[in-house]
Amino acid sequence: MTAQIIDGKQIAADMRAELQQEVAKLKEQGIVPGLGVVLVGEDPASQSYVRAKERACEKIGIYSDDNRLDADTPQQDLIALIKKMNANPKINGILVQLPLPKSLDESEVLLTIDPDKDVDGFHPMNVGKMMVGEETFLPCTPHGIIQLLIRSGVTLEGARVVIVGRSNIVGKPLLNMLIQKNPKGNATVTVCHTRTKNLAEHTRQADIVVAAAGRPNTITADMVKEGAVVIDVGVNRVEDATKERGYRLVGDVDFEAVKEKASLITPVPGGVGPMTITMLLYNTVESAKRAAGIETKK
């Protein structure tokens, strides 16, 4: 068996086309979804990521309010900017690009964002709503994973899922989303981590394995049962003298070996990554609809 590749780029493109149509319809009603973006400092990865988000907004018709701040920006100035965006009706979503410079209090910054504009889904109020199954903004990467699975025809109800990794960005929220009593959940979920004994015993029982450990080759072929679905969230740089830049990107899964046992598998790059920005756009559009009193998707 050779796995079918889950094409995250294509699924993301399909979703963005759907969002573009939604935005066009909203504009006919005088509603323009708006995203406020804050980038503090000059971290190259953050700059690249923010530029990609801004291009994506422009392409589907979302208004983007871009704010570039120096790395030595005082905490009170950043807080004041966020409060200004909270009060601005043109902005439906606020994105503060992380990580922030060490001189800034990240926790205070995130708590300052209006939960109704928290399109990253990181505010404790929205995390709490997610856990109890209330309607809220879902964190972008785990929500993107669920969209990849559903749009690839994978049945979540009753599935045995093993998540390798317990971060607040992927592992924990994905667990909470998959166990909810709704069509996007109803799975039986095990979360494994660095202190898990006999990791392979858990992963070999899984219908769906999600690798989000941040380490290359965490999941090898002997750890996956025949026909399993494998979602690789990891993005790791490994040295490669054959590449002009001196490295290549790999995930947490031994892709070449595991694809011979899995039924479906995501590549790195081109799998989960494109979905993260797409779900940020999705949340921004949903926020604009809520603000206008338009019924949103369940």
Known catalytic residues are 53, 97, 120
CA neighbor of 162 nearest in space, from 128, 188, 142 = 188
